[in-house]
Amino acid sequence: MRAIRTRPLTGLAVLTLAAVAAVAPLTPTPAAHAADPVVVLSSTFEDGTTEGWRARGGESVTPSTAAAHSGAGSLLTTGRTQSWQGPTRDLLAQLQKGTRYTLSVHVRLAAGEPATRARLSVQRDTGGTAAYDQVVGATPVTADGWVALTGTYTLAHDVDALSAYVETADGTAALHIDDFTLSYVPAKPVQTDIPALREVLADDFPIGAAIGMPQIIGNHATLLRRHFASVTPGNALKWDATEPVEGQFRFADADALVGFAADNGMAVRGHTLLWHQQTPAWVFTDATGAPMTPTAANKELVLSRLEGHIRTVVGRYGDTIDTWDVANEVIDESQADGLRRSRWYELTGLDYLRTAFRVAREVAPTAKLYVNDYNTNVPAKRDKLYALVAQLRAEGVPVDGVGHQMHVNVAWPSIAETEAMLRTFVPLGVEQQITEMDVSIYTDDSQSYPSPPAELLRTQALRYRDLFALYRRYADEITSVTLWGLADDDTWLDSFPVARKDAPLLFDTELQAKPAYWGVVDPSRIDPTPSPTVSPSPTGSPSPSPTPTGTPTPTPTGTGGTGVFSCRVQYAVTGQWPGGFQAAVKVTNTGDRPLTGWTLRWSFPDGQRITQLWNGTYRQEGATVEVGNAAWNGRLAPGPGVDVGFLAGWSGANGRPGAFQVDGTPCTVD
Ligand code: XIL
């Protein structure tokens, strides 16, 4: 089941993007860097056999020359009496756990059959239980032409049997398939020469990722361990996963994910104990098997089911999960009282929330209990959420925190609105977390790019830069920031709100760092493509004469080393807009004595104030700025030098600092 909802993709957002497009036409990113796929299996049906394909159950599968996508032959399936029947091929010998494969097959209905929709799926069997993973969803097919079904699949479970199959969403039409391929692109190594997100952000908050089984094996696990301090099971703790049938709990996937986190010293956010989605129908079915109506008896029954569910799920992970999204998405700002008319609400009023928080607190007394929602930046929704949390806390309901999902996009919302969101909840005395952040490259449902245009990736990087700069300023309020996924190869936005390839995270489909990653870690390394709206060179204000404040004490050269230390500083304003600018500062050791740990100092001539700095730590007192090295660039050896970047505010003039010192040694400036 998918979450279906619309979010306000404002006219403004669309206009903004259109304006960008008008000055800088969107061009697809060249795919030249991608390695060639390796084909593991192909079925062309040219040799007059079924090439290992068979029927799923009772229908008939035969080689055919009545239609062919290429060559002369295809595989025809006839005699279907159920929509799930169709051609299937064992893949156990070909498909390795943890590798991401592309499956592709061409489908055409037999002559005379009415149009329908076809699907491509994988069946996996473990210990006698079958599970079905959809690779390509219901796609229109006809008898008039071939349609390619192409999708990706990663086997993340141990299996006894595994097969791909084609079926129809409805009807029993006879169908041809042809030119099936199973291929994979050899994985690129996980980068080890870039800073770990968890370390870059360590002083501010733990950084987390939503994960499923594919993320805890192979390269995904390596990437996850390296960069993240926290995980959220994306689906494995939801009600439909943990208690699909009343009283029958299933924790195989959740145990594996939580166990991985525990083994690797990661925190776990428990998501989610109650929601209006992904909740099995039995929860709201009365004793006679009918959908519940709001009666006293049904209220009692549904609350006791809620209590039982929470006792079991929270009880299982009591020690290892220290934060729970107890309630997910309970606000509807279009209601006068702000409360979503979910089945929970219809049957119990606010009592479902009172019960859920009370029981969760009883079972996990030290866990932080959250109410989590999307669009909490939208003022109307934010304020309704505030009112609910204030009311519940006033009643003594143990709500400890507010989770902001932050499913946002490259043009929405503004930083100011996001800051207002955070500021609003401060007086309540609750913790806040960013719980499901992703930044879609799309601003309306009609857009679709097979691979993300470079300009959009750059815009996205600037959004990540600005949003993380904001979060870091609110690090006293924000106790964790979680991204809704690990890398762009596996994101829920590929199917929500419409099916298309999205790229909302910090790592690309090959697990490599994107410009967005650098937006968080070091914005000076965002793809330097000049943007027409940003001036690439320092602006024309005349450089005033240097006024170094706080006379530095020169470090005697030679201390702690044999040679002489001298330095050069290059200072460039890389972008400027009304009230703000971005600058890059490069420090080079031009002497022959390396420094271990360094401090760079300068004074601004025009009252500029730094708001964020990367690749170092900073202090600003009045006009004087002191920048210390970051953990990874403390060694300043003769040679290429280190780069620092910052964002700052200015007004009136934005003159360059005239003098720089490293550890008290004046540097040459250019
Ligand atoms: C999404 C999952 O990522 C998908 O795999 C699933 O099909 C639907 O739910 N808000 C939430 C999350 O609170 O639970 C949703 O997760 C995304 C929106």
Is the separation of the CB atoms in 507 and 487 below 8 Å? yes
H/E segment holding residue 571: strand 567-577
Count CB-CB contacts under 10 A for residue 654: 22
H/E segment holding residue 17: helix 11-23
Ligand 1 midpoint to CA 1 (Å) = 9
Is the pLDDT confidence value at 565 over 80?
yes
Q: Is the peptide bond before 536 cis (omega within 30 degrees of 0)?
A: no
pLDDT on residue 612: 79
pLDDT tens digits, 336-375: 999 999 999 999 999 999 999 999 999 999 999 999 999 9
Decide whether any atom of ligand 1 lies within 6 Å of the 3 Cβ: yes
Q: Can you tell me the distance from the alpha carbon of 428 to that of 407, in angstroms, rounded to the nearest whole number?
A: 23
Average pLDDT over residues 106-121: 97
Active site residue 329: yes
Is the separation of the CB atoms in 328 and 356 below 8 Å? no
Ligand 1 midpoint to CA 492 (Å) = 7
Is the separation of the CB atoms in 87 and 53 below 8 Å? yes
* Catalytic residue (choose from 59, 167, 333, 436): 436
Structure-model confidence comparison of residues 543 and 489, the more confident one:
489
- CA geometry: angle 498, 500, 503, nearest 5 deg: 115
Strands (DSSP E) found in 355-416? 368-373, 401-404, 407-409
Is the separation of the CB atoms in 144 and 216 below 8 Å? no
Atom of ligand 1 nearest to the CA of 328: 13
Strands (DSSP E) found in 156-239? 161-168, 175-184, 207-211, 230-233
Average pLDDT over residues 553-558: 32
pLDDT on residue 87: 98
pLDDT on residue 548: 29
Of 489, 513, 488, nearest to 503 by C-alpha is: 488
541: exposed, middle or buried (Cβ count in 10 Å: 0-12, 13-18, 19+): middle
pLDDT on residue 207: 99
Atom of ligand 1 nearest to the CA of 210: 3
Ligand 1 midpoint to CA 234 (Å) = 6
Q: Can you tell me the distance from the alpha carbon of 321 to that of 298, in angstroms, rounded to the nearest whole number?
A: 31
Q: Which of 235, 402, 489 most suits a substitution to test ligand 1, by most atoms within 8 Å of the C-beta?
A: 235
Decide whether any atom of ligand 1 lies within 6 Å of the 215 Cβ: no
Cβ contacts of 495 within 8 Å, gap of 6 or more:
2, 137
* Catalytic residue (choose from 59, 167, 243, 329): 329
Structure-model confidence comparison of residues 28 and 182, the more confident one:
182
User: What Rg, from alpha-carbon coordinates, does the chain have?
Assistant: 29
Structure-model confidence comparison of residues 30 and 286, the more confident one:
286
pLDDT tens digits, 417-435: 999 999 999 999 999 999 9
Atom of ligand 1 nearest to the CA of 1: 7
User: 412 falls in which pLDDT band (50, 70, 90)?
Assistant: very high
Structure-model confidence comparison of residues 129 and 424, the more confident one:
424
Is the pLDDT confidence value at 55 over 90?
yes
Specify which residues 116 forms β-bridges with: 141
Active site residue 167: no
Average pLDDT over residues 138-163: 94
**Exposure string (b/e) for 230-243, b if CB count within 10 Å is 16 or more?**
bbbbbbbbbbbbbb
Q: Which of 92-106, 183-197, 466-480, 487-501 has the highest mean pLDDT?
A: 466-480
Q: Can you tell me the distance from the alpha carbon of 186 to that of 38, in angstroms, rounded to the nearest whole number?
A: 7
Q: Is 255 helix (H, G, I), strand (E, B) or coil?
A: helix
pLDDT tens digits, 484-498: 999 999 999 999 999
Average pLDDT over residues 143-152: 95
pLDDT tens digits, 566-582: 999 999 987 777 778 88
The pair phi, psi for residue 558, each rounded to 5°, is: 95, -15
Is the pLDDT confidence value at 603 over 60?
yes
Average pLDDT, the chain: 89
pLDDT on residue 34: 55
The pair phi, psi for residue 283, each rounded to 5°, is: -60, -35
Q: What number of CA atoms fall less than 13 Å from residue 280's CA on the CB side? A: 17
Q: Can you tell me the distance from the alpha carbon of 520 to that of 310, in angstroms, rounded to the nearest whole number?
A: 36
Average pLDDT over residues 456-472: 98
Is the separation of the CB atoms in 83 and 175 below 8 Å? no
Q: Can you tell me the distance from the alpha carbon of 271 to that of 479, in angstroms, rounded to the nearest whole number?
A: 16
pLDDT on residue 528: 72
Average pLDDT over residues 120-131: 93
pLDDT tens digits, 304-324: 999 999 999 999 998 799 999
Average pLDDT over residues 146-151: 95
Ligand 1 midpoint to CA 372 (Å) = 12
pLDDT on residue 577: 72
Least confident of 21-25, 44-48, 223-227, 513-517: 21-25
Of all residues in the chain, what percent carry a pLDDT higher than 70?
A: 90
pLDDT on residue 562: 64
Q: According to DSSP H, which parts of 396-473 are helical?
A: 415-425, 454-473
Average pLDDT over residues 171-176: 97
Of 282, 367, 265, nearest to 325 by C-alpha is: 367
Q: Whose CA is nearest to atom 6 of ligand 1?
A: 2
Is the pLDDT confidence value at 29 over 90?
no
